[in-house]
Structure 1
Amino acid sequence: MKNANHSLLNKLVEIEVAGKGMPLRGKMIDLGQDIIVLRGASHFYYIPLVHVKLLRPASQEESAEAVPEIPYEPQSDPISYRKVLFSAKGMFSELYIAGTQSIHGYVTSVMNDYFTFYSPVYHTVIVSLSHLKYLSPYHPDVTPYTLPPEQFPLKPSPISLARTFDQQIRKLVGEFVVLDLGDHPNKTGILKQMEDGMVELANAAGQPVYIHFDHIKTVHVP
């Protein structure tokens, strides 16, 4: 599929994203093999195609609200998910994972099938590439929670990074970890082992809890 031929390119659209209740609305300004770029009223949204449940023309005309400045320099090469992540390194951004799980900070490293994200709330978060629903960069002048740079320096990850998400989880065996930003009490505990695609945690009561690897969206060490 060639981007220039898509019937909704440069049109006002609504996109239903997996895990998000309300659709995203804006002009579809670019389309790559694995990502859609949406220009909303105040933000740009970079949405992996795998999480687009439905794309449709919007029923009303675009509003007269201020048009945001594009966060990245336009490139002649086709856009892709990985290129967007590399461009976002060091740029204050919002990540939407699922439900109410939206975090703010900076992409710091991009590996084979995951990336690391530094947040003032969670510090270093390891994010599976397959579970990010969208990335939305802020204007370059915006800083997290209006913190001055000296109060929120961009720190390199203290974790030694593996090439794959699977290997990275295995490197954390024995650590106290939080999975999926702690959206459930049983996703916080000591990482005991990973075997046959199942991750074993010891929860607060010391009981074993098993979570399938494919459903783990994020990991961080508090």
Structure 2
Amino acid sequence: MRILLVEDDLSLAQALQGALGRHGLVVDIVHTLANAGSALKLSVHDLLVLDRGLPDGDGVGFIATARHLSPALPIILLTARGEVAERVDGLNGGADDYMVKPVAVDELLARIRAIARRPSTVALPCATLAALTFDFSAREAIVDGQPLLLPRRQMLILEALVYRQGRTVQRESLHEAVYGLEDEIQSNALDAHVSKLRRALKDADAGVEIMMIRGVGYLLKEAQ
């Protein structure tokens, strides 16, 4: 599961990132609503953990924007304000859950698991190009009815390329889709993953190809 954490308290954000990471969760951290909007445009996240009091606004007011960018995205609201009226305001504003700081990691994990068990009310579509089908809900690639097994980073690259098929995906966007926002990345790491993904698609006879657009990024299209 990939989580976007919007929290302007750097020490708290890093503590939650480390604690959740030890349970196998990938946590991207941003500190403002503006950066949260950019992150949701660039990457697919499974959950938004949203602080209420942020430098550029109230998190409750951002919920509508988040839903527009990612309709199926569950949202847990964090706040230092625990009054009943505040909780009601947050839930009525569209949050799926509400937690009062200080946050107990075990409780946050339990709430994340509970949200993950809920069926989504918005079905994410599948996309098909040639013999390749990508199921965005399951994050699964299928070629001629057979699952295409890929390492995690290659699957994330493919997801980003299929989502924008026929359009060039900038390198920066792919970096955001594949790596945590604070990961240290070697200069040629992305190209190496793309090269391996290209070979895997060819070996599977997917009928698609990944073109490099020099100086810009990559484009997924039907093979000629």
Q: Which has the higher strand share?
A: 1
TM, length-normalised to structure 2: 0.28
Q: Which has the higher helix share?
A: 2
